[in-house]
Amino acid sequence: MAPGLHLVDISRDRRPGGTVAYVTFDNARRLNVVGPPALLDLKEAFLGLAQEDDLRAVVLAGAGGRAFIGGADIHHMAKMRTSEDGRAFITMIHQLCQAIRDCPVPVIARLEGYTLGGGLEIAAACDMRLAAADAHFGMPEVRVGIPSVVEAALLPRLIGWGRTSWLLMTAETIDAATADRWGLVEQVVPAAELDAAVERCVAAIVAGTPKSVRAQKRLMRRWERLSLDEAVQAGIDSFAQSVAEGEHVERMADFINRPRKA
């Protein structure tokens, strides 16, 4: 994919509770496949958003309606010959996924059409995944001579080892209903209702307090690396810090003093 043949569009919806960013990747004529320039641009988009203090949530989508991200650019990969070539390219996918995971606010993947290979790794790196009923998911790498790697390692945490083995070793595509049943996505709705479902999710996030939502995501990332005892202690520390910051005082007072039905 040559520079200039894709577009990363960032729009912002400024709300009373903060800003929601919508990141749309557009390489629609090629099912939104990602090559090095696109991976770099998407990573830079998330690194930039992470610096915005009033950011409350990010929605990541693919343009065109036929795919979220249809995988990595096979034309680029077919030209790779050395281990250095492979390492450099796959590290770029990982760096994008890491930028999504490091984003301090929830990132919601809006999934329609095909989500394949590197696209599924990018979706797995998001905090939540909402899918259209006609969406399809797959990890086809072994059929073109490479394993599924980097953030494919997140899949066993989402769907278990057996189902991950099925996706990665058979390279078969599953439909949205199966993805929902397996726990790969959080919600499946008719395609015409996908934007409304995303908005409900965004609104629920924005209804929380800014610091508490950021603290929750930060804590959940720590849980992934800690033993149970360490994770509990990390939660105690996070709770104590939140109390010291005082964001809860007004919200809890409002709840206590809310009008009650007779």
- When the candidates are 3.40.47.10, 3.90.226.10, 3.40.50.410, 3.40.50.150, the CATH number that belongs to 7-207 is 3.90.226.10
**In this predicted structure, what is the pLDDT of residue 253?**
86
**In this predicted structure, what is the pLDDT of residue 4?**
53
Decide if 176 contacts 132 (C-beta within 8 A).
yes
Below-50 pLDDT ranges, the chain: 1-3
Distance (Å, whole) CA 190 – CA 186: 14
In sequence order, what DSSP letters do the residues of 21-63 get, joined into one string?
EEEEEE-GGGTT-B-HHHHHHHHHHHHHHTT-TTEEEEEEEES
Q: CA 141: distance to chain centroid?
A: 20
**In this predicted structure, what is the pLDDT of residue 27?**
97
For 167-219, what is each residue's pLDDT tens digit?
999 999 999 999 999 999 999 999 999 999 999 999 999 999 999 999 999 99
Distance (Å, whole) CA 196 – CA 192: 8
The domain locations on the chain are 7-207, 210-256
Phi, psi torsion values for 128, nearest 5 degrees? -145, 150
pTM of the model: 0.95
